[in-house]
């Protein structure tokens, strides 16, 4: 494959990842507040955009998964330059990304199942798990995870964990003293 196509694939892979991460982050965040009535405006906004963000995220994940697979194959094949770290770590990062993709696809398919309302927590747990694997993938394989971008990933993870903790504490007297 010529150098222009290889470089274009590399850029498309990175660009789709850089769009996908904030979309998945917002999807998880709006999902956390989707049922949290105590958060008022944030709850109402989350109910308006959560599903649309999730659908767009699945589409972007498909693009990133497809282009990323081709890009990884070119690296393994020797047609594209290898990363600055050992190939075994690169392949482990690709593997974690594949796990993230599979888990998120299973979660998305779970939302298409009419019985999902019997146990929505299980389906959402898959989504959280896929997001967690996606973060590990981004940090493990992302050559762009240095400096400010790496700090943004850490900060965004902390923010999601704090939002989840607030939601879990929403019904308790620790957050809502009127109860």
Phi, psi dihedrals of residue 80, rounded to the nearest 5°: -125, 150
Q: Give helix 120-141 / helix 3-33 axis angle, nearest 10°.
A: 140
Going by pLDDT thresholds of 50, 70 and 90, the confidence category of residue 59 is very high
3-41, pLDDT tens digit by residue?
Answer: 888 889 989 998 999 899 889 989 988 988 888 888 889
Average pLDDT of the chain, as a whole number: 83
| pLDDT over threshold 70, residue 177 | no
In degrees, to the nearest 5, what angle opens at C-alpha 178 toward C-alphas 174 and 179?
Answer: 70
Burial class (CB in 10 A: 0-12, 13-18, 19+), 71: buried
Q: Residue 34's Cα: distance from chain center in Å?
A: 18
Q: Give the pTM.
A: 0.80
What pLDDT was estimated at residue 1?
61
pLDDT per residue as tens digits for the range 100-129: 999 988 888 887 776 666 667 777 788 888
Give the span between the Cα atoms of 145 and 147, in whole angstroms. 7
Residue ranges per domain, the chain? Answer: 3-163
- For residue 79, name the pLDDT band (cuts at 50, 70, 90): confident
What token pair was written down for 155? 């900060």
Q: How many CA atoms lie within 13 A of 43 on its CB side?
A: 9
Q: How far apart are the first and last CA of the chain?
A: 65
The confidence score (pLDDT) of residue 33 equals 86
């Amino acid at each position: 494959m010529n150098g222009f196509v290889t470089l274009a694939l590399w850029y498309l892979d990175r660009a789709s990842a850089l769009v996908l991460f904030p979309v998945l982050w917002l999807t998880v965040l709006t999902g956390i507040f989707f049922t949290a009535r105590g958060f008022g405006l944030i709850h109402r906004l989350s109910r308006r955009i959560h599903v649309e963000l999730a659908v767009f995220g699945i589409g972007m994940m498909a693009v990133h998964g497809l282009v990323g697979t081709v890009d990884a194959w070119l690296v393994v094949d020797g047609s594209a330059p290898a990363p600055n770290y050992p190939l075994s770590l690169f392949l482990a990062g690709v593997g974690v990304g594949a796990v993230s993709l599979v888990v998120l696809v299973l979660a998305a398919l779970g939302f298409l199942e009419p019985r999902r309302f019997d146990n929505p927590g299980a389906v959402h747990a898959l989504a959280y798990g896929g997001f967690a694997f996606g973060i590990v993938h981004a940090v493990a394989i992302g050559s762009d995870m240095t400096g400010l971008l790496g700090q943004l990933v850490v900060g965004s993870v902390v923010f999601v964990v704090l939002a989840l903790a607030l939601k879990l504490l929403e019904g308790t007297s620790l957050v809502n003293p009127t109860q």
